[in-house]
Amino acid sequence: MDLHIPDSEVELTAIRAQGPGGQNVNKVSSAIQLRFDVAASSLPGEVKSRWLQAPGNQLTPDGVLILKAQRYRTQDANRRDAWRRLYALLARYERPVKARKATRPTRASVVRRLHGKAIQSQRKADRSQRSD
């Protein structure tokens, strides 16, 4: 599935970048702030719901994504970077999450775990029985 986000659904604003840069950083608005309302977008419903319900999805409580692109010195390069990052996020939620298949530990791993626990238990028991 190759999704496209219309330009009309994305708000790009030029802002001043943070960090070092001398006098120029205080005068030139080279950073880009991208705002994308996921909840009100024209994305398919299942993609939208996956994005809105995902943990750590970088959205505001209203379902708006705010990206700040300030990696480059020019506004145009930062604008391209913001779009690239938006599409990278979209690709993450484009495909459904693969269901986890329940598995059981192997017998050997259970034996190793129990053996390690027995060694630790004996080590602690030896400490407590020592008398000076």
What is the residue extent of each domain of the chain? 7-94
Model pLDDT, residue 57: 72
- Alpha-carbon gap, residue 52 to 123, rounded angstroms: 50
Using alpha carbons only, what angle is made at residue 68 by residues 20 and 25, rounded to the nearest 5 degrees? 25
Spell out a b/e string for 72-108, using b for 16 or more CB atoms within 10 Å of the CB, else e. beebeebbebbbebbeebbeebbeeeeeeeeeeeeee
- Alpha-carbon gap, residue 52 to 64, rounded angstroms: 9
Model pLDDT, residue 130: 64
- pTM recorded for the entire structure: 0.66
Model pLDDT, residue 103: 94
- Alpha-carbon gap, residue 118 to 65, rounded angstroms: 51
Model pLDDT, residue 109: 97
CB-CB contact of 5 with 41 (8 Å): yes
Closest CA to 17 of 69, 60, 66, 67: 69
- Alpha-carbon gap, residue 70 to 64, rounded angstroms: 19
55: tokens are 């943990």
Low-confidence ranges of the chain (pLDDT < 50): none
DSSP state of 105: -
Three-class SS of residue 14? strand
Model pLDDT, residue 70: 84
CATH 3.30.160.20 fits 7-94, yes or no: yes
